[in-house]
Chain A
Amino acid sequence: MRQYIVKALLQFIPVMFLITLIVFSLMHVTGDPVSLMLSDTATDEDREILTKALGLDQPMHIQYLKFMGNLLQGDFGTSFRYNQPALPIVLERLPASFELAIAAMLVATVISIPLGIWSATKRNSILDVFVTGGAVLGKAMPSFWLGIMLILLFAVKWKTLPVSGHGSFKHLILPAITLGTGIAAEMTRLIRSSLLEILGQDYIRTARSKGLMEMLVIYKHAFRNSLIPVVTIMALQTSVLIGGTLITETIFSWPGMGQLIIQAVNTRDMAIVQAAVFVIALLVIISNLLADLLYRFLDPRIKYN
């Protein structure tokens, strides 16, 4: 186990290094960072000064080393919009996004686990077709569309929930459903197929042939074992979940990182974008790592080499 953790951490370093490479090329190779950072009223002189100040007149590899050096010191550049270091601005928004993401995950779990089990146990029944169809619909609906519809129905028409903003539990419901639906759809499908796989395995068939009650079989053997892959499935949705906050937060004016990123992209505040990409990548990697650990812990069949 310890050996595995050490190995995982060792893999983590090259991945983060590659992410710095990706971000660096996004910012420096594909575009002209100077014109992205300059204000509307800047002159040619300003341009030259900034180019020098950013060290962009130097060869690419030197630039990259400097970029890395700054990152290692936690310096992700200065947001020109806020005139402050980018990293704290991004981190400040993290709790609100977390809140939304966890709520959305809960929504997704509550919907997908029963539906997934239900449709797997009644494979090819009308119910299965409905659940599968519903899952596809949930996946096919662009989330901005769903969000706008939910506001129109629940807030404007029925006046049961607040439209937007952040604060009370009630404010959390619509954004969480908007963000959770797509993930619920994906998870339902995955849970269904992982359960089907388990139901097809020998020990379940043995249990069935012994005449155990169907519900008991499903509960005692299949469901518990299918929980193991569910943990992995949930962790793998982290990236989708964070990606989804970009849109959900914009619709519900949720003051999280997603909205910050959209605004930073629109105003070309690349320091913020850069810092946010790193923070997100780190979160995704850590959550995948944790899921992997948990998975190995739960399922002793997996060896640690």
Chain B
Amino acid sequence: MKRLASIGLAVFLALSGLLAGCTSSSAPQTTTEQPPAQTGGDTASSGEKVLTIASGNDIESFDIHNHNNTSTEAVHVNMFNYLVKKDRSQQIQPDLAVSWENTDPTTWRFKLREGVKFHNGDPFTAADVKFTLERAARDNTLLEYGNYKQIKEVKIIDDHTVDIITDGPQPVMLNRLSRLGSGMLPSKYIKEKGWDEFLNHPVGTGPYKFSEWKKADRLILVKNDDYFGDKPKWDKLIFRAIPEDSTRVAELLTGGVDLAVNIPPTDMQRIDDNQGTHTATGPTQRVMQLTLRMTAGTATADPKVREAIELSIDKQAIVDNLLGGGGTITRTRVTPGNFGADPDLYGKQLYDPERAKQLLAEAGHPGGLEITMSSPSGRYLKDKETAELIAAMLGEVGIKVKLEFLEWSKFNEKYKGKTFGEVFMIAYANSMFDASLAFDRIYSERAKGETDYNNPEVDKLLDEAETNMNPDERAEQYQKVQRIVAEDRPVIYLFQTNANFGVSDRINFEPRLDEMLFADEITLK
């Protein structure tokens, strides 16, 4: 028996050795690209300039038309180019197109840059524009279909000229073409090698080209020496996916990464105090809001109740206490930097709890009332705490809030089914940088069942602005809508949230309003 036992032990050890062998045999291939832990994105011994960026999640995929994820786009912008791009002040600038004009209200003619090559050597031509845009415009299974279906056709005029024909006047066309889904794809490569090959070995025109993607771990891009623009500033970019906030912060503090996105407000001070790191913060396109049900019979159908709700919320206190000051209070969703923004409604709040109490009494609720408020939990920065704080503020004036926290997919189910109670909290972004998107759900047709807001004047203004090719007039129409909505309150806007970054002292980084991470805007100190 003793002998048997020792044989057993030997077998067991051999087995575990075997298993260890299996795993270690795959290890060399994973270690080659590994930068030394302590130096992270440092200029390692070879003198290579490496930039390491940590996000909360991995990129979704390289199918630029089938995701709606800002953080994925923030990586893609280093590999692909749009026809036109937004500069840091949101002005449209040439990129793959050098000039453009409206030959008629529904036709946009673009002159393409010559001599541009994809990473695989294929030249960039009009055929690629046609392929890229028509894919998004015709395949209704793609997530970006809704933002491109306005394109009826892309006509090739010659190798470096295209006409984009839209289904109606499109005042926001350039905004559409300077965002997610408009990165130009190599039509020849994809047609020859197939879509799967492209997804595994993506090819673009950008300053950095694909090197390796280890899912859920890191994406490595290397510089493209043949880039048509300025020479790329870095030799290598590493995008790491680190889902847990505290881990991401720890990586930054220890020098494992140069830039960490989505830093919890509570850790900002710590990063600033730490030697070798600092923080950067900047506004985003995201606005947190309460959507109110105006359906007849609900308490919030009464404009006085809705006003009382807005007056009882100290938005600034939320920003200061929960976001560490990282946000700006607002009464509109069209924040500065967006077309049609009304600066008078930005940076303001109407906090007046006494008046709120009075309004409630006038509305026939002197003893207070009870409403249900739903909030996602864990979806947005400090969403749970924000909802709890709002509930407490409403409680102060006598509005008892029944809080319902829903994990995102459950929240989404109710959102799609439009089955929320009086109030729900949600944040929206605006990747179009245009007021039109902000009022999508305000329009009576779309508001049905959700807010049940119906103001014919607003509908008329939105209809007109939708196709108005005169920018000044159009901006005025949207500003008018904002003022009406701020008074009608189908929605109470709370604050615009900031994006928080942790930055290594060895680099210069300024956040962009669109949250894109252009590596060449980040420089070594």
> Contact partner of B243 among A82, A168, A259, CB < 8 A?
A259
Give the CA-CA distance A102 to B60 in the complex, in Å: 29
Residues of chain B lying within 8 A (CB to CB) of residue A102: 16, 19-20, 23
Which residues in chain B, 229-287, are within 8 Å of chain A measured between CB atoms? 240-244, 246-247, 250-251, 253-254, 256
Residues of chain A lying within 8 A (CB to CB) of residue B27: 99
Residues of chain A lying within 8 A (CB to CB) of residue B12: 231, 294
CB distance from A6 to the nearest CB of B (A): 21
Most chain A CB within 10 A, of B1, B11, B37, B242, is at B37
- The segment from B332-340, B393-401, B409-417, B486-494 that touches chain A is B409-417
Q: Is the CB of A166 within 8 A of B250?
A: no
> Contact partner of B240 among A165, A228, A251, A266, CB < 8 A?
A165
Residues of chain A lying within 8 A (CB to CB) of residue B37: 161-162, 165, 168, 170-171
Q: Is the CB of A164 within 8 A of B256?
A: yes
Q: Is the CB of A163 within 8 A of B247?
A: yes
Residues of chain B lying within 8 A (CB to CB) of residue A36: 409
Q: Is the CB of A156 within 8 A of B247?
A: no
Give the CA-CA distance A225 to B1 in the complex, in Å: 9
Knowing A98-B23, A102-B19, A298-B8 are in contact, say whether A163-B250 is a contact too (CB < 8 A).
yes
Residues of chain B lying within 8 A (CB to CB) of residue A134: none
Q: Is the CB of A251 within 8 A of B254?
A: no
Give the CA-CA distance A262 to B57 in the complex, in Å: 12
Label chain B's interface by main secondary structure: helix
Q: Is the CB of A162 within 8 A of B256?
A: yes
Label chain A's interface by main secondary structure: helix
Mask: chain B, 47-91; 1 = CB below 8 Å from A; 0 = not: 000000000010011010010100000000000000000000000
Residues of chain A lying within 8 A (CB to CB) of residue B5: 224-225, 227-228, 298
Give the CA-CA distance A165 to B129 in the complex, in Å: 38
Q: Is the CB of B217 within 8 A of A159?
A: no
Residues of chain A lying within 8 A (CB to CB) of residue B215: 92-93, 255
Give the CA-CA distance A148 to B249 in the complex, in Å: 11
Residue A14 is within 8 A (CB to CB) of chain B in the complex: no
A sample of 5 cross-chain residue pairs with beta-carbon separation below 8 angstroms, ordered by A number, consists of A151-B250, A168-B37, A250-B244, A263-B216, A266-B408
Q: 17 other contacts beyond A163-B251, A164-B256, A266-B408, with CB at 8 A cut-off?
A: A40-B412, A81-B60, A83-B199, A92-B215, A102-B16, A156-B254, A164-B242, A164-B247, A165-B34, A165-B37, A165-B218, A165-B242, A167-B30, A231-B8, A231-B12, A259-B216, A294-B12
Chain A residues in the interface with B (C-beta under 8 A) = 35-36, 39-42, 81-83, 92-93, 95, 98-99, 102, 105-106, 148, 151-152, 155-156, 159, 161-168, 170-171, 220, 224-225, 227-228, 231, 250-253, 255-256, 259-260, 262-263, 266, 268, 294, 297-300
